[in-house]
A and B are shown apart, each in its own frame.
Chain A
Amino acid sequence: MSEFFGSPHALLILILAGFLPNEIWRMAGLWFGAGVDEGSEVLVWVRAVATAILAGVIAQILVQPPGALAGVPDWLRYGAVAAGVVMFMATRRSIFAGVACGEIALVAGKWWLG
């Protein structure tokens, strides 16, 4: 069992650095959400900031790619995402078509590079 879970120290870090900082925002939404009107200006601002932060997370994965994605040249990563976005627009916002097109562009490009 200890091999399955690894060291207790790592699990403690999972709780303190992973679970708590993430969950606190959900529980804050549950606690303070009742008093916030859905169309209120505060929520428009919070949503804009949250969207921009998610955009930052997306940009971070693309600019400083983790794991195997780092083996793909920069231009190919950006090109594949651009191809996905163009397809998404062309198909009147089909997430599936956009994701499929971006993935095909990445695999084809990498395969072509050898």
Chain B
Amino acid sequence: MSSVATTVLSLVLFATYIGIGALAHDSQFSLGWVLGSTLLVWAGPAQIILISTLGSGATAVQAAIAVAVSAIRLFPMVVSVLPLLKTPTTKRRHLVLVTHFIAVTLWVECYRLLPKVPRESRIAFTHGLGCGLVIVCLIATSLGYGLAARLPPLFAAAILLLTPLAFLLSTARNCRQISDVLALVLGLALYPLVSMLQTGVDILISGATAGTLAYGVHWWRERARA
């Protein structure tokens, strides 16, 4: 539990889920619904997108597309974390729960904490860390939901700003190559332009374009070096 309690990211996560609880209350969702979304979806941006798109009257199909697009980032996260957890005898089904817990916070924490844990205990350790984080966030969701009516607008706005700030900075910190940095900067710059087209899949278009451009620069530099 100490590793759950002491990190800055888990504080940010706690505050983010207070914000999600408050947003769900203001968008007329039930407490059970938003707790279910924390447990099952377990990804801050996807939940904010789900609540705000459904709350603004979009159809379930539009919401599903928006969520699916925002969740593509989970794929490379899972691919990069699983090799840290496996032993030669690990079966795929042993990794299903761990895979469900993987989101940006757990991904960062795995890189930081797992090297100190013996390989054969890493799955159990990650189960504990994941359960701890989920429970903390369920409490935060309920708190935010309960406080929403009494939350001053300034405080509510500050909490909603936490998600983009924390995601921006933790992504910037985890940039390993020039392609990652470029993808982040181009992705930020391109979205406002693409959103004027109002296609409904703006994030997918701006993300795929910016990401591919960033990869193109990486490829070109590698070739120039060779």
Residues of A within 8 A of B (CB): 3-6, 10-11, 13-34, 36, 38, 41, 43-69, 71-72, 77, 80-81, 84-85, 88, 93, 95-96, 98-99, 102-103, 106-107, 110-111
Contact = CB atoms under 8 A, between A and B. Distances in A.
B157 interface: yes
Contacts of B204: 53
B129 interface: no
A58 B23 CA distance: 17
A6 B153 CA distance: 26
A31 to B, nearest CB: 8
A16 B64 contact: yes
Given A6-B33, A19-B41, A51 B163 contact: no
Given A25-B74, A56-B207, A57-B167, A43 B212 contact: no
Given A51-B187, A55-B188, A93 B173 contact: yes
B172 interface: yes
A65 B192 CA distance: 13
Contacts of B36: 5, 11, 14
Contact of B75 (A5, A28, A56): A28
B149 interface: no
B75 A25 contact: yes
A57 B64 contact: no
Interface string B41-77: 1110111111110110000110111011111111111
A59 to B, nearest CB: 4
A38 to B, nearest CB: 6
Where chain B touches its partner, the secondary structure class is helix
B203 interface: yes
B97 to A, nearest CB: 11
B218 A6 contact: no
A77 to B, nearest CB: 7
Given A17-B63, A43-B79, A10 B211 contact: no
A29 B33 contact: no
B30 A4 contact: yes
Contact of A56 (B12, B32, B61, B202): B202
A99 B12 contact: yes
Given A49-B207, A107-B158, A110-B157, 10 more contacts: A6-B30, A22-B42, A28-B78, A29-B76, A33-B82, A50-B77, A52-B207, A52-B208, A55-B210, A61-B45
B205 to A, nearest CB: 9
A111 B154 CA distance: 8
A104 to B, nearest CB: 9
B206 A56 contact: yes
A110 B158 CA distance: 10
